[in-house]
Amino acid sequence: MSSPQSNTDQKTVTPRTAATVLTGLGRSAIAVISVAGDQAASAVDQYFHRATPSPMHPGQIRYGTWSSSQNQASQNQASGESIVVTPIDVDQFEIHCHGGQAAIDVILSDLQVAGVEIATGPHPMTTKPLLIREAESVLIECTTAQNAAIAMDQVRGSMNQWAEDALTSARQNWKSIIEQAREILTYAPLTTHLTQPYRIVLVGAPNVGKSSLTNAILGYNRSITMNTAGTTRDVLHAETIIGGIPIRISDTAGIRQNTGFEQNTGFEQADEIEKEGIRRAIQEIETADLVIRVRDPETDFAAIPGRIKSIDVTNKSDLITDGQFIDSHIVDGDISAILVSATNGDGVETLLSTIKNQLVQHRPSAGSPAAVNQRQVEALRRISNAGDDKGVIEAVAALIAKATDLPQLDA
């Protein structure tokens, strides 16, 4: 390993090399910085001191320290930041460092001293395919490791490579490409949802334990609970992660069983505050990805529009007597409801597993192509509906179209 150089001895690279932060700010313990361009290797090598002196090759994961320009000037290499560098190609590297803004700023500042341009958006290299650039913009906004892994596969070229291969082989294999496109589309409900939490709404009559169930799902007390009907008068939101999936849970006001969702009827017994809470609850239900209908052993489930995906939960299972159930999923002849006790935790794990399975039924395997936005989904639909090789070629060409806009660079 060569000894650190001072700033005056450092070689300044050409501005054709650029860097961008791939991870969201303040979201994770680890930040990922991409450096790509003709002189990326020499720029990284100025500051990265490998734990072992052997040359870096694509596909490796190399541990070492990042010795900033200030540390190099004082010959204080030992005080560098511990990082991991992954060579993606001979001219592209990923720097994995502490996720704090200060650590990110140090590395970006050093790269800028070396002549690397710093992009404020997706990587500015004009030769980078649109599919990869779109994936980068999604990766920046991911909030869970599982979702980020799907986006990172696309940043590394899974979708782009599939599209390029499809374009070159479409004349002979267009029927097979159609089937592959249809398979990719089965993952779209998840892969186009990587940056936004799924919206789950709890709905039920007053005092069936919706707020207690919300707290049980979250693992902490977000909602106020009392043995009094109507404690929740507004919609309360909280975010969590279930099985690697970001979730926004909405705890709604109790809705009386005779409330009409389509006609907004059944409010006669409610005061003005309760009426407003019910209206807001109905608005949340209409836009939910999943509704959890909650009852207790003495009430019925609230009616919701049939088009909305839902899970039925019978809460307060600890109050059910032996004569009221046959097994853990049957109460008074109802075989669909999950028995849960929000107070002692019984059935909560079953509910969490059911939520995950309802929201995500198909997940791509590691390294598989995936559509990360609606534009890509529409192009894949065109491919899947094509009637001949010409239609497939035209649709694939639209999928890999070149970008016309570039991100702004910091001065």
Run of H or E including 1 = none
Distance CA 193, CA 126 (A): 27
Assign domain 7-118 one CATH number from 3.30.1360.120, 3.40.50.720, 3.40.50.360, 3.30.420.10: 3.30.1360.120
pTM of the model: 0.60
User: Which two three-digit tokens encode residue 151?
Assistant: 């986006």
Q: Which among 120, 56, 127 has a CA at the least distance from the CA of 94?
A: 56
pLDDT in tens, 375-385: 999 999 999 99
pLDDT in tens, 119-145: 765 544 445 788 988 998 888 888 888
pLDDT in tens, 272-319: 555 666 667 677 777 888 888 888 877 777 766 666 788 888 888 777
**Arch. (CATH architecture) of 198-359:** 3-Layer(aba) Sandwich (3.40)
Distance CA 31, CA 53 (A): 24
Domain range list for the chain: 7-118, 198-359
Distance CA 235, CA 187 (A): 31
Distance CA 181, CA 165 (A): 13
Pairing of strands 62-66, 81-89: antiparallel
Which residues in 148-278 belong to E strands, given as ranges? 198-204, 236-242, 245-251
Q: What band does 151 get if pLDDT is binned at 50, 70 and 90?
A: very high
Most confident segment among 89-93, 183-187, 228-232, 405-409: 183-187
Half-sphere exposure of 216 (CA within 13 A, CB side): 22
Q: Which residues are paired to 239 by β-bridges?
A: 248
Distance CA 390, CA 170 (A): 8
Q: What band does 32 get if pLDDT is binned at 50, 70 and 90?
A: confident
Q: Which residues contact 345 (CB under 8 A, 6 or more apart)?
A: 216
